[in-house]
Amino acid sequence: MFGYYLDLALRSLRRNKALTALMVLAIALGIGACMTTLTVLHVLSGDPIPGRSTQLYYPQLDPRDMDGYRPEDDPPAQVTWIDGMNLLHARRADRQALMTGGAVPIQPAQSAIEPFFEDARYTTADFFPMFDVPMLYGHAWNQADDEGSARVAVISRKLNDKLFQGKDSTGQTLLMNDVAFRIVGVLDSWRVTPHFYDLNNGSYSEDEGVYLPLTTAKDLKLARNGSTDCWGKGSDPDHMDTAPCVWLQLWVQLDTPAKVAAYKTFLVHYSQEQKTLGRFQRPPNVRLDDVMGWLDFNKVVPGDVRLQAWLALGFLLVCLVNTVGLMLAKFLRRSAELGVRRALGASRREVFMQLLVESGVIGLTGGVGGLLLALLGLWLVRKQPSDYAALAHLDLSMLAATFLLAVGATLLAGLLPAWRACQVTPALQLKSN
Amino acid sequence: MDVLPILSTLRRHKITALLVVLEIALTCAIVCNAVFLISQRLERMQMTSGIAEHELVQIQAFGIGKPDDARAHTQEDLAALRQIPGVKSVALVNEVPFTNSSWNSSIKLDPKQKLPTLNATQYFGEDLLSTFGAKLVAGRNFNPDEYLEFRQVQRDETLQKKVTGVIITRALGEKLWPGQSALGKPIYLGDDSVRVIGVVEGLIRPSLFNGDDTAQWSMVFPLRMDTGNASRYVLRTAPKDRERVLAAAAATLRKANPHRIIQDKKTLDDIRGEFFQDDRAMAGLLAGVCIALLVVTALGIVGLGSFWVAQRRRTIGVRRALGATRRNILHYFQTENFLLATIGIALGMVLAYGINLFLMLHYELPRLPAYYFPVGAVVLWLIGQAAVLGPAMRAAAVPPVVATRSV
């Protein structure tokens, strides 16, 4: 029966080409706009490090003086050098890494490439195992390198391609800011979206090209990129290790809920201890968010992207209302034909199915059109200047969602007209002819 | 035109009529808010800076390796840059408007105050005001002998007390001391106070991270930067010379010291353009959606109108045979559309107001101006009439003889 209904539907749709085109176009536009914006929203609000995100936590403390104190305020978004180092050396978590962003001048050995700046991450060794960073060649540095401020570097695959044409560069020397570093590792392609571990330089910025031990970067006074918040007296750039400034990010890995609770207690105890020592003045004020909690807290998804998704949903709604109206008019106009079918023995249910197949065909065609429009829309998004633009790609789950949305929405839209049309009384329709 | 027969006909097409009304209402609500959002974005892009934007270019220079005698290098750089033909003024500054890097400080009006009064940006750099072209409206500019080395001030707390004055924007003065002259009044940064010696008409702060309301909260201090703590050279020149001056400046800086990286050679117009690029993109997207919505709605009206005309061919024929003129038929469909549009618009206005309330709550948007409602109504009426014109004319063309034929 389905084949017959399909044939009837196609005939009916062909009979009024302009109208069919209008309905398909409306559905396609609505679906296309929706899929484009929802895909962008999906990409931007995704889990940056699936599988690990529930074990990674971001501790916050409040080391500030009483100036401007309000009990309801959140602790600063970063930590001081002293607290960072204390918590790092306490080793109360399964893993811990202290880090900050930076930029280093790279002086390539080849004279053909002019010196250029590369974004860098100055971090302690646990960064690599903790964030599951994939290595292409070599390995990361270890704790001894951290302690000895070793002149070692890990570089990204992209930088390795640029400087060493993709060959294994471990063991080679790289001159950065007039200092010779030994390359110990090369990362495989790696990008976390959002850039959760440091949101100061753009929530969707690309991952860094160079990774150096934090102590090395501090010894060499390498340039920092990021935010520095100071209070009280003195933000002497020569003594950032004692300055009353927060400028570092601390991440810890806590494998079980019990450990999370214990770590939070530890942070409160640490704050109390520092207050007794006179370093802290405020009552203990700590936070311990996991990755998704930290992203939520920072509201990383741009408001505009959410607004666009709402707008597209509204647009789809108008397109659907439009299609329902047109389908209803079309089905009702065929009352006579439907009346004949009913009189010849078709049940109300069969007529209903027949009309539903017709609306399904429109939905399917509209879905295909919507998918093409979504691909076009995402291509347009990628042309945009935003730093997340390059991320706008349709993945398999979104592809399936497009189709379900298109067909589901049109079938839903087809329900009302089909139900209304199959209510016709056969006798009345026959009589009027 | 008698409305009653139209209403009684519409009553027989309740669902279809309701759908048209719903479509017009949704379109009206979305388009009103989208147009409002566009106007907000365009207004933001027009934000005044208070500086001579079309005459400024920026170039960044970063030394490689340990900085030795940054002070002397800076003087060499500045002297060489001033030699470039067409350059009116040069300054090495800590921050530039419409970039995302900014230096800010909380300020108080009384050292005993518990919470800071507000947060304002701090501009440093010799000749900064004359280079930026910010207009002094009260007090005086800094004298050359007032400038202190930022390098020393940063490392020596006692020097911080020696800063002789601060120049602020009119907006900041008005915020701190409403209705009074800011001149001579003290501002506290930490425990040290500094007196306002001058007021400029405007000087926008970079990054606007505290919201657009605080855009003009800027302070300028008589502090001299050097290549060790600042990288942004700003040059002022005639608008037509900007590209040439930028190229010459890059060559000059490279020649003065080849051991450095020179980047971000841009005119301030370009920097401004990039700063507002997301707003521009959003406005474009909203405009696209508005047009698409109106087109879909108009086509929907055309489609439904055509159906109704085809469905009522016989009735129209009968009416024509009974003496109705073509004009009567035409008016019938136009009035019908007008009625549906009016109900839709009325519903749409309520919906538009609701969406606006939601946006005000979640996106800090102001209230929709009242004039949007009549303008929106007229636009939708016109679109409705234009869309129904085709089907209505076709209806008017139905000959009376149709009445005598069965089907």
> If you measure CA to CA, which chain A residue comes closest to B304?
A326
pLDDT at A234: 65
**Helical (H) or strand (E) element with A116:** strand A116-123
State the nearest Cα–Cα gap between A254 and chain B, in angstroms: 33
List for chain A the helix, strand, coil content (%; round to 5): 50, 15, 35
B35: pLDDT strictly greater than 70: yes
CB within 8 Å of chain A, chain B residues 359-398: 362-363
**Helical (H) or strand (E) element with B187:** strand B186-189
Mutation target to probe the A interface, by most A beta carbons within 10 A, among B21, B26, B155, B259 is B26
Q: Which residues of B touch A69 (CB under 8 A)?
A: 114
A389: pLDDT strictly greater than 60: yes
Share of chain A above pLDDT 90, in %: 51
CB pairs under 8 A between A and B: 126
> If you measure CA to CA, which chain B residue comes closest to A18?
B303
Share of chain A above pLDDT 70, in %: 98
State the nearest Cα–Cα gap between A86 and chain B, in angstroms: 26
Interface check for B64 against chain A (CB to CB < 8 A): the answer is yes
> If you measure CA to CA, which chain A residue comes closest to B406?
A433
Contact flag A314-B299 (C-beta cutoff 8 Å): no
The pLDDT tens digits for A219-253 are: 998 999 989 998 887 677 778 888 899 999 999 99
CB within 8 Å of chain A, chain B residues 336-355: none
Mutation target to probe the A interface, by most A beta carbons within 10 A, among B261, B306, B337, B407 is B261
State the nearest Cα–Cα gap between A295 and chain B, in angstroms: 18
CB within 8 Å of chain A, chain B residues 127-156: 154-155
Contact flag A26-B296 (C-beta cutoff 8 Å): yes
pLDDT bracket for residue B43 (50, 70, 90):
very high
Contact flag B263-A326 (C-beta cutoff 8 Å): no
pLDDT at A101: 95
Q: Which residues of A touch B206 (CB under 8 A)?
A: none
Interface check for B67 against chain A (CB to CB < 8 A): the answer is no
Interface check for A234 against chain B (CB to CB < 8 A): the answer is yes
Point out the residue among B274, B282, B304 whose CB comes nearest to the CB of A326: B304
The pLDDT tens digits for B159-208 are: 888 899 999 999 999 999 999 999 999 999 888 899 999 999 999 999 88
- Averaged pLDDT, A369-384: 89
B407: pLDDT strictly greater than 70: no
pLDDT bracket for residue A431 (50, 70, 90):
low
Q: What is the CA radius of gyration of chain A?
A: 31
Q: Which residues of B touch A312 (CB under 8 A)?
A: 289
> If you measure CA to CA, which chain A residue comes closest to B26?
A318
> What does the alpha-carbon distance between residue B293 and residue A33 come to, in Å, rounded to a whole number?
11
Point out the residue among B64, B281, B310 whose CB comes nearest to the CB of A178: B64
Contact flag B407-A29 (C-beta cutoff 8 Å): no
Interface check for B188 against chain A (CB to CB < 8 A): the answer is no
> If you measure CA to CA, which chain A residue comes closest to B62?
A105
> If you measure CA to CA, which chain A residue comes closest to B154?
A236
Tell whether omega for the bond before A194 is within 30 degrees of 0, i.e. cis. yes
Contact flag A322-B263 (C-beta cutoff 8 Å): no
pLDDT bracket for residue B1 (50, 70, 90):
low
Residue B214 is given by DSSP the state G
Q: Where are the domains of chain B?
A: 4-46+278-404, 53-274
Point out the residue among B34, B293, B363 whose CB comes nearest to the CB of A303: B363
> What does the alpha-carbon distance between residue A279 and residue A273 come to, in Å, rounded to a whole number?
9
Report CA torsion sign: B73, B75, B78, B84.
negative
Please name the residue that has the structure tokens 């570089």: A155
Interface check for A332 against chain B (CB to CB < 8 A): the answer is yes
Interface check for B16 against chain A (CB to CB < 8 A): the answer is yes
> What does the alpha-carbon distance between residue B113 and residue A67 come to, in Å, rounded to a whole number?
9
- Among residues A179, A131, A171, the alpha carbon closest in space to that of A155 is found at A171
The pLDDT tens digits for B72-116 are: 999 999 999 999 999 999 999 999 999 988 999 999 999 888 889
**Best-predicted range by mean pLDDT (A365-379, A414-428, B34-48):** B34-48
Interface check for A242 against chain B (CB to CB < 8 A): the answer is no
Written as six digits, the tokens of B62 are 């970063």
> What does the alpha-carbon distance between residue A190 and residue A173 come to, in Å, rounded to a whole number?
23
Written as six digits, the tokens of A244 are 């009353």
State the nearest Cα–Cα gap between A346 and chain B, in angstroms: 24
Interface check for A22 against chain B (CB to CB < 8 A): the answer is yes
CB within 8 Å of chain B, chain A residues 292-311: 302-304, 307-308, 311
Interface check for B226 against chain A (CB to CB < 8 A): the answer is no
The pLDDT tens digits for A6-24 are: 888 888 878 888 888 888 8
A146: pLDDT strictly greater than 90: yes
State the nearest Cα–Cα gap between A329 and chain B, in angstroms: 7
Residue B287 CB neighbour total at 10 angstroms: 15
> What does the alpha-carbon distance between residue B15 and residue B312 come to, in Å, rounded to a whole number?
17
Share of chain B above pLDDT 70, in %: 99
Residue B57, CA distances (Å) to A334, B75, B178, B241 in order: 70, 19, 35, 10
The pLDDT tens digits for A115-128 are: 999 999 999 999 99
Contact flag B115-A238 (C-beta cutoff 8 Å): no
Contact flag A19-B363 (C-beta cutoff 8 Å): no
Whether the Cβ atoms of residue B47 and residue B203 lie closer than 8 Å to each other: no
Mutation target to probe the B interface, by most B beta carbons within 10 A, among A322, A419, A431 is A322
Point out the residue among A232, A322, A386 whose CB comes nearest to the CB of B278: A386
In the 3-class helix/strand/coil scheme, how is A32-100 assigned residue by residue? Answer: HHHHHHHHHHHHHCCCCCCCCCCCEEEEECCCCCCCCCCCCCCCCCCECHHHHHHHHHHCCCCEEEEEE
Mutation target to probe the A interface, by most A beta carbons within 10 A, among B10, B20, B22, B23 is B23
A2: pLDDT strictly greater than 60: yes
B310: pLDDT strictly greater than 80: yes
Point out the residue among A117, A384, A416 whose CB comes nearest to the CB of B263: A117
pLDDT at A433: 46
Contact flag B289-A319 (C-beta cutoff 8 Å): no
The pLDDT tens digits for A184-213 are: 999 999 989 899 999 998 888 888 999 999
Point out the residue among B64, B115, B296 whose CB comes nearest to the CB of A318: B296
> What does the alpha-carbon distance between residue B120 and residue B122 come to, in Å, rounded to a whole number?
7
Mean model confidence pLDDT for chain A: 89
B381: pLDDT strictly greater than 80: yes
A256: pLDDT strictly greater than 90: yes
Whether the Cβ atoms of residue A20 and residue A330 lie closer than 8 Å to each other: no
Point out the residue among B20, B26, B281 whose CB comes nearest to the CB of A317: B26
Q: Where are the beta strands (DSSP E) in A188-286?
A: 210-213, 229-230, 245-246, 249-253
Alpha carbon B134 to its chain centroid, in Å, reads 21
* B188 vs A410: which has the higher pLDDT: B188
CB within 8 Å of chain B, chain A residues 382-401: 384-386
